[in-house]
A and B are shown apart, each in its own frame.
Chain A
Amino acid sequence: MTSTLVRLALAASWRGRHRDERRAAVVAGAAAVVAVMAAGCVSAWLLSTRINERATARSFRAAGSAPPAMERSALFDETSAGQQIYVYWWRILAPGARIPGVPADPPVGSWFVSPALREVMRYDPAVAERFGSDAAVIGKDGVAHRRELLAYRFVDHDSDRAEKLSLEPGLDWIGDGAEVVELFPISVAAVALIGIPGFGLMLAALAPFGPVLERRDSLLDALGASQGTRTGLAVAHAALCAGPGAVAGSLAWYLLSRELTAVPLVGRAVFRGDLAMPAIPAVLVALGVTGLASAVVGVRPRRANGNRPAQAMPGTPPAARIVPLLVGLAVAVVGIATPDRGGAKVFLVGVVAVAIGAVAGLPYVLDRVGRRLAEHPTTLALLVGRRLQWDATSSARSLVAVGTLAVLLPLVAAWVAVARSLDTPPETASYAVELRGDVTDATVSELAERTGAVPVKVVTATNGPPEPLLVGDCRALAEVVALARCDASFEFARPSRVVLGGYERLPGARSAPPGATVRSTLFVSLEGPQTERLLRSFVVNGTQARLQVATPGRSVFRESPLVSWILGAATLAGLVGGCALLLHLAAQAARSALSRARLLAVGADRSTLRRLAGGEAGLAVAVVGLTCTAVGAVCSWLFVQKDPSAAVPYAVIAYVIVGILVAATVAGIAAATAAPSGTGVARD
């Protein structure tokens, strides 16, 4: 039975007629694209994991009562083009003790710099002079990521300077943690911006199979084949079409990924091999994509055939289809209403649910629009409306990628707008620094007394890891806390903090309510540079050990690394959406060819058929695109509620609407141009 199924499936795909082979090639191509996208996601996830692992491996604490093997002190006293260079001084206590990326027993007085810092030293003489031209390069295993500016200095046991450095046997973290991307938002973004459009592309590629499968299913049913056999044949057919593409895509990425030195479309520099895809995940990706195509075909609904009761209007979708959309919106609203990081995660999950719910509800929307249009007295409206109704489910299925994009683009725009507002460097007159380490209440009090800065406690009701103390003048901090006035009588309008690269409004207060946990304290100073000098002096010479000052504000307020990832994923989603749109047009032309041939026989002229084809194609794209854009705009509005200063990205939403209208027009013109050439009803 299995071999018969495979033979039949082969005959229907690669050994079939030219038209069948063309359909199979389209599915194989889509499977290759989806496999590359999926494999790229896996590589990105592995990259993040590798960065996290390397960053974790070089950070240590002194283990129990054992004598420490080395000590270190963080100085952070150098910058390059406004970017912090993370400078650590080390003292090796146990001969042979290893620091990742540095050979055992490095010479006393030597400098080791990261590959990125070595690059900076080539064009910045001041930096080169500071670290010396003979500085060695830290190996890849000691550098979290390729853009990291890191320097190690090794000092002697008896060095006077070492005694003044407050060397400690271990600290929690080395370097800049900003590049260590949280896996949760990356995963959710990958599902939303790559998973759903990729799925949509596969649906669009498989759409032309619909009528073929229906006819064959009906015929086999009439011949007495069981449901299992018929489904098995459909699944085998899809697997044979998608399999070669999935394997080719996965293999291509497997070979390419180990040579890449930057993430495609994202542009972030990486070490060669950091994106390398192991063989087993590559095989799993190929199998997964093939399985996805098979599953789509295996579970697709069949229209009425001879053995089933006829449906009044096949595919008439129930109103329950919009329930997932409403549930997704409810989850997003709950996420907005929930403070802290948990709320942000719930919101992201809600947004993905909204994107899925929106596309799931599209057949219902298309059906309603078609029904209303068919009530219009003109013949063209009747025909276009009824076609929309008839093909609501099929059209929506092949427009999943376009719909998803229309939902997500306004939201991505809102997110990027929020994240990008951090990118604006503080004015030259303003400044902000980070105070790292064990910031206690005593530290805050002493610091306030010595620097004249005003502490403002930002409180939340939950516990979490300690956060760096932000110290800055009110112009710099206004970016974060929405200062109403920037003078001696400054006031916080709505305290907020950076979460997932964007702002999250905090239920902040100038004094902590009973029972609340102080999560961080903002210092606002009216004397910027002076305060920084005081602060450094306070840390180096004072009694507050285990504290470091990181300079300057730009490192605090710079753009989230998530931005480039999200923009890269959005670009990929846009390309995939464009491909899916083209496939949709081809599928729709095939689906409605018979209707047009019948109209031609009745007496409709070709211009009527062109207007009908154009109206049908254009309207489907417009209805799907605009509906989903409206949903995306609502999500975007919800998102900016977390940010005290951000506005709904009306301009981007307008661009999306214009883009949808242009796409609908192009789709309409393309469909109208492909006028039917034959009657399609000749039988003799």
Chain B
Amino acid sequence: MALRCRGLRLALGGRPILEGDDLEVARGAAVAIMGPSGSGKTTLLHCLAGLHNPDDGEVTVHGAATTKMNQRQRARFRLERVGMVFQFGELLEELTVEENVALPLRLRNRHNPGRVTSLLSEVGLAERAASWPAELSGGEVQRVAIARALIGNPVLLLADEPTGALDEDLSEDVCRLLVSMARAGGAVLVVATHDPLVAAAVDAVARLRRGKLETV
């Protein structure tokens, strides 16, 4: 399995969020995590990305146990192996579209302008390379965020409500792009979502209820 979680437990502020969750996803597969607001979807994604270290349990990505890494190693792992897409894009407003997409590569000192241009073409935003995030529509912001997440050829692509702020047409467009590009790159895609469109586009759906993950 490309992604494996075993017995993830995490409490924040004394409140249990994750209570012994397990998850296994094969290489190139896409999984949707669904659940009501406050159920811990984002926290689970943050544990997978190494932004939170769980109180207990283990996360393994392609054999690498991120839960045994220190903070610096997790950041390095995130930079090189993980891509993240957030509900509102979370682009750096002070950087241009091109600079936002290039950021993960530049942080690795592997700036590759050709790759940036090609990826922007793939998401249909080649002509907006020099634009600022404030000049983009919601759908364009998400496409830039997807390009940024994929620029480093990640083995794990995590998306947190990527269509939450978009209308139906745009949601479908972004969802198709996300799944197809993840598959093309052979990355594991884990999407936290409420959107049935997303759920319909992925290979499997898991439901998070009161901190417990149940495969549907």
Q: Kindly supply a per-residue 1/0 record for chain A positions 672-684, scoring 1 wherever the CB is within 8 Å of any chain B CB and 0 otherwise.
A: 0000000101111
Q: For window 160-195 of chain B, which residues contact chain A by CB distance below 8 Å? A: 160-161, 192
Kindly list chain B residues whose C-beta atoms are within 8 Å of the C-beta of A341: none
B127 on the interface (CB 8 Å rule)? Answer: no
A441 and B76 alpha carbons, distance in the complex (Å): 90
A682 and B99 alpha carbons, distance in the complex (Å): 23
Q: Do A601 and B84 contact each other (CB < 8 Å), given the known contacts A379-B107, A386-B99, A608-B107?
A: yes
The 8 Å CB contact of B43, one of A312, A599, A608, A682, is A682
**Distance between A198 CB and nearest chain B CB, rounded to angstroms:** 31
Interchain CB contact under 8 A, A603 and B134: no
B112 on the interface (CB 8 Å rule)? Answer: no
A382 on the interface (CB 8 Å rule)? Answer: yes
Kindly list chain B residues whose C-beta atoms are within 8 Å of the C-beta of A382: 95, 99, 106
Q: For window 113-137 of chain B, which residues contact chain A by CB distance below 8 Å? A: 131-132, 134-135
**Distance between A424 CB and nearest chain B CB, rounded to angstroms:** 55
Q: Do A604 and B79 contact each other (CB < 8 Å), given the known contacts A683-B161, A684-B43?
A: yes
A683 and B152 alpha carbons, distance in the complex (Å): 25
Q: Which of B32-40, B56-64, B198-206 lines the interface with chain A? A: B32-40
**Distance between A225 CB and nearest chain B CB, rounded to angstroms:** 23
Q: Kindly supply a per-residue 1/0 record for chain A positions 303-332, scoring 1 wherever the CB is within 8 Å of any chain B CB and 0 otherwise.
A: 010000011111000000000000000000
Interchain CB contact under 8 A, B134 and A601: no
Kindly list chain B residues whose C-beta atoms are within 8 Å of the C-beta of A682: 42-43, 46
Kindly list chain B residues whose C-beta atoms are within 8 Å of the C-beta of A602: 78-79, 84, 103-104, 107, 148
Kindly list chain B residues whose C-beta atoms are within 8 Å of the C-beta of A606: 71-72, 75
A310 and B75 alpha carbons, distance in the complex (Å): 33
Kindly list chain B residues whose C-beta atoms are within 8 Å of the C-beta of A166: none
Kindly list chain A residues whose C-beta atoms are within 8 Å of the C-beta of B90: 598, 601, 681
**Distance between B212 CB and nearest chain A CB, rounded to angstroms:** 15
A581 on the interface (CB 8 Å rule)? Answer: no
B87 on the interface (CB 8 Å rule)? Answer: yes
Interchain CB contact under 8 A, A684 and B37: yes
Q: For window 46-101 of chain B, which residues contact chain A by CB distance below 8 Å? A: 46, 49, 51, 71-72, 75-76, 78-80, 82, 84, 86-87, 90-95, 99
**Distance between A672 CB and nearest chain B CB, rounded to angstroms:** 16
Q: Kindly supply a per-residue 1/0 record for chain A positions 648-684, scoring 1 wherever the CB is within 8 Å of any chain B CB and 0 otherwise.
A: 0000000000000000000000000000000101111
**Distance between B34 CB and nearest chain A CB, rounded to angstroms:** 12
B41 on the interface (CB 8 Å rule)? Answer: yes
Interchain CB contact under 8 A, B78 and A603: yes
Interchain CB contact under 8 A, B86 and A601: yes
Interchain CB contact under 8 A, B51 and A679: yes
**Distance between A628 CB and nearest chain B CB, rounded to angstroms:** 24
Kindly list chain B residues whose C-beta atoms are within 8 Å of the C-beta of A605: 71-72, 75-76, 79
**Distance between A249 CB and nearest chain B CB, rounded to angstroms:** 37
A313 and B131 alpha carbons, distance in the complex (Å): 9
Kindly list chain B residues whose C-beta atoms are within 8 Å of the C-beta of A607: 72
A390 on the interface (CB 8 Å rule)? Answer: yes
A455 and B155 alpha carbons, distance in the complex (Å): 95
**Distance between B116 CB and nearest chain A CB, rounded to angstroms:** 13
A316 and B135 alpha carbons, distance in the complex (Å): 15
Nearest to A304 among chain B residues (CB) is B134
Interchain CB contact under 8 A, B161 and A311: no
A684 and B132 alpha carbons, distance in the complex (Å): 27
Given contacts A387-B94, A599-B92, A684-B37, 17 further A-B contacts (CB under 8 A): A312-B135, A379-B103, A595-B92, A601-B78, A601-B84, A601-B86, A602-B79, A602-B104, A603-B80, A604-B75, A604-B107, A605-B75, A606-B72, A607-B72, A682-B42, A683-B161, A684-B192
18 contacts between A and B (CB under 8 A): A310-B134, A312-B131, A312-B132, A314-B134, A379-B103, A379-B106, A382-B106, A387-B94, A389-B94, A602-B84, A603-B79, A603-B80, A603-B104, A603-B107, A606-B71, A682-B42, A684-B40, A684-B192
Tell me the B residues contacting A by CB distance below 8 Å: 37-43, 46, 49, 51, 71-72, 75-76, 78-80, 82, 84, 86-87, 90-95, 99, 103-104, 106-107, 109, 111, 131-132, 134-135, 148, 152, 160-161, 192
